[in-house]
């Protein structure tokens, strides 16, 4: 049996071209991993590839492991499937002792700690959130292949750390690393690229070892990763890239979709195959995804592999408040579980971690186990733990202030301001977390006291332990990329949340649109979108993306509006 037999016509076309440049533009749910693995298997089966001469590169260790597992299932052993960083580190560790006469430098495990030490030397005292944002800025600078001087010329700053202070901090950070013979995560790529450029014998050895390259999620490559790939390739042309421009959601971390979109321009003779047959989602869900991305650069027109006469249209429900939205989502999920669905088949996705607390509480009150995918749980965030402890402490001291005024006072002392930070990152996450606590206080019953509120927060925190039973998945949209569930709820579709408030300008809004697209295409059978009119005492408007998709029959008719009462009564959707 040929490795091509299990593929559809377009997949077979992509997998059968074994030489020269190939670009596979693979939409969500179109079987890109199947194409990658079957193409490599076909190359090995036909003798075109020697397994040890193939390198498959992806972005996460989990994805690399999946590639290796699927290849083993096809009877293929010996293919190198690694992340960019793992491949670069392996080459550094192999060649460095020969070149330098000593082991390769160690890898630091915590930028923030080293940045804190550099700040102390400069007599600066940025808080931990600011240090985390500075660490992210350093990562962006390095993957963008900018020197500290070039970065400073851009005039970027972080919080209250000026451009000049940021440059000095970076110089101090680099000096500490050099003194200790250490590299950070991005240095691994830079050092490997520098080694290949400077040492002809190293590049010759790598070129001899690896002849055929496959790169998954190519829309996510940064300038530095693309440069390293070019050095691995040398003057060879056997490269297959696979990606979807509509799923570029890491531009803030240096990802640049131009390398995918312009692949055909770089290689005019490249074979370019579009995979648009979706094997995951029902037709109405794909209609919503297509409407959202209509006319965008590189967008693919997804078509369901199977038509369905019983497919449910995606729904959109408006609630009075975030608390009612959470309760409505929980009621809908409870009804679905009662009808026979497993909790593990259901996901609730949202834009920011700060949105998770009220939803998880509502699920718990409905007796539904949940787990938070990736990152820290809301109540495990340091800003939240700090706020809970401060509120608990404040409840002991007598005060003439009212309950809500007390909460506002405590949160302001911890850093909550009227206006959010100008940009995203750890500072924004901390602000959103404190703001979420304030919204809970604003929506609390009138008889609530500071003591009862802090006890309620501690009880919520206690209930957040990872369950060992089947559970509903809760996740940010970023962390959900690459995953799928039969039933998906997308919460918080309001202006200021999706698109998020600090996204300004066409490019930033387009990134938010792609994030919304990723959320929609996680759903296989049912999709429910929701939003709330009020956040605390503020009013919100529905996301512009709802209008673009069409929320009523007067629009495109793609989404079906439901009422909160219908949702809470168990109506599906």
For residues 469 and 382, is the Cβ–Cβ distance under 8 A?
A: no
- Do 175 and 199 have their domain in common? no
Distance (Å, whole) CA 219 – CA 474: 25
In a domain, 98, yes or no: no
Which two tokens mark 559? Answer: 């989404």
Neighbours of 370 (CB within 10 A): 27
Number of domains in the chain: 4
HSE at residue 124, side-chain half, CA atoms within 13 A, is 23
* Strand, helix or coil for residue 399: coil
Give me the residues paired with residue 158 across strands.
161
Give the domain-ending residue among 275, 304, 332. Answer: 275
For residues 255 and 220, is the Cβ–Cβ distance under 8 A?
A: yes
Give the domain-ending residue among 226, 255, 275. Answer: 275
SS3 content of the chain, % helix, strand, coil (to 5): 50, 15, 35
- Do 386 and 350 have their domain in common? no
In a domain, 292, yes or no: yes
Which two tokens mark 232? Answer: 């691995």
- Do 352 and 244 have their domain in common? no
- Do 442 and 481 have their domain in common? no
- Do 361 and 479 have their domain in common? yes
Q: What is the chain's pLDDT, residue by residue, as a tens digit (573 residues)? A: 788 988 999 999 999 999 999 999 999 999 999 999 999 999 999 999 999 999 999 988 888 888 888 998 899 999 999 999 999 999 999 999 999 889 999 999 889 999 999 999 999 999 999 999 999 999 999 999 999 999 999 999 998 899 999 999 999 999 999 999 999 999 999 999 999 999 999 999 999 999 999 999 999 999 999 999 999 999 999 999 999 999 999 998 899 999 999 999 999 999 999 999 999 999 999 999 999 998 788 899 999 998 877 788 999 999 999 999 999 999 999 999 999 998 889 999 999 988 988 998 888 888 787 778 765 667 778 888 899 889 988 887 766 678 888 889 989 998 888 877 754 456 766 777 788 888 888 888 888 888 888 888 877 675 442 222 357 889 999 999 989 999 999 999 999 999 998 888 888 999 999 999 999 999 999 999 999 998 666 788 999 999 889 764 344 468 888 878 755 543 333
In a domain, 59, yes or no: yes
Q: What is the reported pTM? A: 0.79
* Strand, helix or coil for residue 465: coil
- Cis bond upstream, residue 318 (ω within 30): no
* Strand, helix or coil for residue 481: coil
In a domain, 93, yes or no: no
For residues 88 and 189, is the Cβ–Cβ distance under 8 A?
A: yes
Give me the residues paired with residue 531 across strands.
318
- Do 68 and 210 have their domain in common? yes
- Do 224 and 313 have their domain in common? no
CATH number, domain of 551, equals 3.40.50.300
In a domain, 221, yes or no: yes
For residues 421 and 435, is the Cβ–Cβ distance under 8 A?
A: no
pLDDT of residue 510: 93
- Do 372 and 472 have their domain in common? yes
- Burial class of residue 482, CB neighbours in 10 A (0-12, 13-18, 19+): middle
Neighbours of 73 (CB within 10 A): 10
- Do 265 and 290 have their domain in common? no
Q: Summarize the annotated binding site as residue ranges.
A: 26-33
Nearest to 191 by CA among 134, 107, 114, 118: 107
Nearest to 298 by CA among 338, 245, 350, 251: 245
Residues 6 or more apart in contact with residue 446 via CB below 8 angstroms: none
- Do 126 and 158 have their domain in common? yes
Give me the residues paired with residue 202 across strands.
none
What does the radius of gyration of the chain's CA atoms come to, in whole angstroms? 25
Distance (Å, whole) CA 377 – CA 380: 5
Q: Summarize the annotated binding site for ATP as residue ranges.
A: 26-33
In a domain, 100, yes or no: no
Distance (Å, whole) CA 517 – CA 432: 23
In a domain, 2, yes or no: no
- Do 361 and 473 have their domain in common? yes
Distance (Å, whole) CA 31 – CA 22: 16
Which two tokens mark 122? Answer: 């400069």
Distance (Å, whole) CA 380 – CA 264: 46
CATH number, domain of 154, equals 1.10.10
- Do 322 and 413 have their domain in common? no
pLDDT of residue 427: 74
- Burial class of residue 22, CB neighbours in 10 A (0-12, 13-18, 19+): buried
Find the domain containing 229 and state its range: 9-88+189-275
In a domain, 344, yes or no: yes
Q: Can you count the helices (H) and strands (E) in the chain?
A: 24, 18
Nearest to 431 by CA among 479, 502, 492: 502
Give the domain-ending residue among 404, 422, 457. Answer: 457
């Amino acid at each position: 049996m040929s490795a091509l037999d299990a593929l559809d016509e377009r997949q077979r076309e992509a997998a059968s071209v074994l030489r020269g440049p190939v670009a596979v533009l693979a939409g969500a749910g179109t079987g890109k991993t199947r194409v990658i693995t079957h193409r490599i298997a076909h190359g090995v089966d036909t003798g075109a590839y020697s397994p040890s001469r193939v390198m498959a590169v992806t972005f996460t260790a989990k994805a690399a492991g999946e590639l290796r597992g699927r290849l083993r299932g096809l009877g293929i052993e010996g293919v190198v499937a690694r992340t960019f960083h793992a491949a670069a580190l392996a080459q550094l560790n192999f060649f460095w002792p020969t070149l330098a006469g000593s082991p390769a430098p160690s890898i630091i495990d915590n930028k923030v700690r080293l940045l804190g030490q550099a700040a102390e030397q400069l007599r600066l005292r940025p808080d931990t959130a600011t240090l985390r944002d500075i660490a992210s800025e350093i990562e962006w600078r390095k993957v963008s292949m900018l020197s500290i001087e070039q970065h400073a010329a851009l005039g970027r700053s972080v919080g209250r750390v000026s451009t000049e202070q940021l440059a000095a901090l970076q110089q101090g950070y680099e000096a500490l690393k050099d003194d200790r013979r250490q590299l950070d995560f991005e240095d691994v790529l830079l050092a490997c690229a520098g080694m290949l450029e400077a040492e002809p014998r190293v590049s010759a050895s790598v070129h001899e070892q690896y002849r055929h390259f496959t790169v998954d999620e190519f829309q996510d490559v940064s300038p530095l990763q693309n440069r390293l790939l070019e050095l691995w390739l040398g003057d060879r042309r056997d490269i297959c890239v696979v990606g979807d421009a509509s799923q570029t959601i890491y531009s803030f971390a240096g990802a640049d979709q131009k390398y995918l979109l312009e692949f055909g321009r770089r290689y005019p003779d490249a074979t370019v195959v579009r995979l648009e047959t979706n094997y995951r989602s029902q037709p109405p869900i794909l209609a919503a995804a297509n409407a959202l991305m209509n006319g965008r650069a590189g967008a693919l027109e997804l078509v369901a592999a199977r038509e369905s006469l019983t497919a449910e249209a995606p729904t959109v429900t408006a609630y009075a408040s975030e608390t009612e939205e959470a309760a409505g989502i929980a009621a809908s999920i409870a009804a679905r579980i009662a009808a026979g669905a497993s909790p593990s088949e259901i996901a609730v996705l949202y834009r920011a971690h700060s949105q998770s607390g009220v939803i998880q509480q509502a699920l718990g009150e409905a007796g539904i186990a949940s787990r938070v995918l990736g990152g820290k749980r809301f109540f495990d965030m340091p800003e939240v733990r700090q706020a809970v402890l401060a509120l608990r402490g404040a409840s002991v001291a007598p005060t003439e202030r009212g309950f809500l005024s007390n909460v506002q006072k405590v949160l302001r002392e911890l850093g909550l301001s009227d206006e959010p930070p100008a940009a995203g990152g750890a500072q924004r996450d901390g602000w959103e977390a404190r703001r979420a606590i304030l919204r809970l206080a604003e929506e609390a019953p009138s008889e609530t006291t500071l003591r009862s509120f802090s006890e309620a927060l501690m009880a919520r925190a206690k209930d957040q332990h990872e369950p060992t039973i089947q559970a509903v998945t809760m996740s940010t949209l970023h962390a959900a990329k690459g995953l799928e569930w039969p039933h998906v709820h997308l919460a918080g579709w309001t202006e200021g949340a999706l698109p998020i408030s600090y996204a300004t300008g066409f490019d930033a809004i387009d990134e938010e649109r792609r994030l919304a697209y990723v959320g929609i295409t996680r759903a296989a059978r049912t999709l429910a979108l929701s939003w709330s009119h009020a956040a605390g005492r503020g009013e919100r408007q529905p996301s512009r993306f709802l209008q673009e998709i069409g929320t009523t029959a007067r629009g495109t008719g793609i989404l079906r509006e439901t009422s909160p009462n219908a949702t809470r009564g168990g109506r599906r959707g």
